Amino acid sequence: MAKMWAGRTDGVTDRIADDFNSSIHFDSRMYRQDITGSMAHAAMLGARNIITNEEADTLIAGLEGILADIDSGKLAIDMSCEDIHMFVEQELTARLGDVGKKLHTARSRNDQVALDLRMYLRDEITEIIGLIRDVLEALVEQAKVNADTIMPGYTHLQRAQPITFGHHLMAYAMMLLRDIDRLRDCARRLNVSPIGSCALAGTTYDTDRRFEAAKLGFDDICLNSLDGVSDRDFAVEFMSDVSVLMMHLSRFSEEIILWSSWEFKFVELSDAYTTGSSIMPQKKNPDMAELIRGKTGRVYGDLVALLTTLKGLPLAYNKDMQEDKERVFDCVDTIKMCLAVMAPMVATMKSIPENMRRAAGNGFINATDMADYLVRKGLPFRTAYKISGQIVARCIADGKVLETLPLDVYQSYSPLFGEDLFEEISLDTCVRKRISEGGTSVESVLRQIAFVTEKLTQL
């Protein structure tokens, strides 16, 4: 069949070229945005007397009918069309006759597709923020239960200082709050309408771009028509934000995987979010967390693919840009799935406080607190640090830990050591005394929880 754009050529393309060129098998997911955008366009054409008001009403009613029929499943999208824009126009003309052919006055698919993608992302960002919120709620609940659960805090994956599990979880809550902030910022910046840029240069019709933008809930219009049709910054920005978000989920997943290993056993995942092995009967594998970690690479790939596609593209629209949508859609689908599985996995995860405490107690995790003890007794920190290091070395040589080294041995290193040392270096004291703002003390964790809870009510 000849294409709707037949004219300059006979519009007959080779089947392979057709398949290669067509985007309907993926851009049909924007049918709602496409039709809604067209309704606003028809209304604008009517309001500016570019078509009659009656024609505008007919077009809008026709478009409403198409939307309802796709929604209800009565109308199947014709996959032989080149793209969703062509399909909607073809269907409209089939239903309305010649008046349907007026819809595409004073616009082009170039500004239309840019409009659709912005509207689509705007909707998806709202959904994604809702899903992040579910993860945040799960984190807050777990942090409340574990506000005083002592575990080892690590640097270099070496036991460093005692912290609480609640504190560790709230670190992820802070990351996710920033992710929401970034996505909101992206939604704000993308909420600028390109429609009316037309093919590239604007139009000779007396259009009202602001009318159309306002009808579609945009805050502003793109002020340069070339930029309007060439700009995919918003898609790159969205994928960057999702990449950072995935990086956070991946780091958390990695810790969940470590924590649920037999070597750590700090947490036990619910059976619902683990799998068994087909051969090893003892296995309970954290597949969901591993997949989240794995899919992070895929999202980074989407981002880099689009950046690479855009690099070196001359203005204005080039067909290369059709490659944007599958990458964006893949990002949207992936992040939504990851968040949807992360929330209940975290909510149902059980901490095992005795194992965490055992791991915290078995090393020299309180060595900093021993040095701080000497500082409080009057030694400069660097001197106290050195003595403490020597004591640790002595413990290792003697097969002891700080709690079991006799006081007289301590006193052979410094006369400042007294009986109160053992209370001062107990794990509970170490955590209780970390009162600095943002520290690991229980009060500080409760303050963080209150902060995040308050932020959630403002969303």
Minimum separation from the CB atom of position 318 to ligand ARG (A) = 9
What distance in Å separates the CA atoms of residue 334 and residue 249, rounded to the nearest whole number? 12
Residue 397, Cβ neighbours under 10 Å: how many?
8
**Region from 109-117, 167-175, 251-259, 394-402 binding ligand ARG, contact rule CB under 6 A:** 109-117
What is the Cα–Cα distance from 138 to 239, expressed in whole angstroms?
A: 25
Q: 87 or 410: whose CB is closer to ligand ARG? A: 87
DSSP letters, 146-184, are TTT-EEEEEETTEEEEEEEHHHHHHHHHHHHHHHHHHHH
Q: What is the Cα–Cα distance from 425 to 322, expressed in whole angstroms?
A: 62
Give the residue with the Cβ less far from ligand ARG, 81 or 257. Answer: 81
The nearest distance, CB 113 to ligand ARG, in angstroms, is 4
Distance CA(136)–CA(346), nearest Å, equals 10
Contact 21, 13 (CB under 8 A): yes
- Structure tokens of 331? 């990002």
Nearer to ligand ARG, 319 or 382 (CB): 319
How distant, in Å, are the alpha carbons of 9, 89, 101, 107, 149 from that of 93? 22, 6, 6, 17, 67
Stretch that binds ligand ARG, among 6-14, 93-101, 290-298, 313-321 (CB under 6 A): 313-321
The Cα–Cα gap between 214 and 218 comes to 5
Using the rule CB under 6 A, is 374 a contact of ligand ARG? no
Nearest distance in Å: CB 274, ligand ARG: 41
> Which of 36, 38, 93, 110: binder of ligand ARG (CB under 6 A)?
110
Least gap, CB of 319 to ligand ARG (angstroms): 6
CB 20, min distance to ligand ARG, A: 12
Q: Is 322 in the site for ligand ARG (CB under 6 A)?
A: yes
Indicate which single residue of 321, 346, 365, 395 sits in contact with ligand ARG (rule: CB under 6 A): 321
Decide if 278 is catalytic.
no
Of 277, 388, 436, 444, which one is the catalytic site residue? 277
Question: What are the structure tokens assigned to 48, written together?
Answer: 């500016």
Which pair of structure tokens corresponds to residue 396? 């290792």
Chain-centre distance for alpha carbon 71: 28
Sign of CA dihedral 428, 430, 433, 437: negative
Listed ranges 140-148, 185-193, 314-322, 412-420: which one lies at the site for ligand ARG (CB under 6 A): 314-322
Alpha-carbon distance 215 to 33, whole Å? Answer: 13
Smallest distance, Å, CB 434 to ligand ARG? 54
DSSP characters for 27-80? HGGGHHHHHHHHHHHHHHHHHTTSS-HHHHHHHHHHHHHHHHHHHHTSS---TT
State the number of binding residues for ligand ARG (CB under 6 A). 11
- The 23-62 site mask, x for binding ligand ARG (CB under 6 A), equals x---x-----------------------------------
3-state secondary structure of 351: strand
Segment near ligand ARG (CB under 6 A); pick from 268-276, 321-329, 366-374, 403-411:
321-329
Active site residue 156: yes
72, 156, 278, 436: the catalytic one is 156
CB of 126 to ligand ARG, least distance (A): 23
Per-residue contact string for residues 75-104; x = within reach of ligand ARG by CB under 6 A: --------x---------------------
Distance separating alpha carbons of residues 116 and 122, to the nearest angstrom? 10
**Active-site amino acid positions:** 156, 277
The residues of the shown chain that bind ligand ARG, judged by CB under 6 A, are: 23, 27, 83, 109-110, 113, 317, 319, 321-322, 325
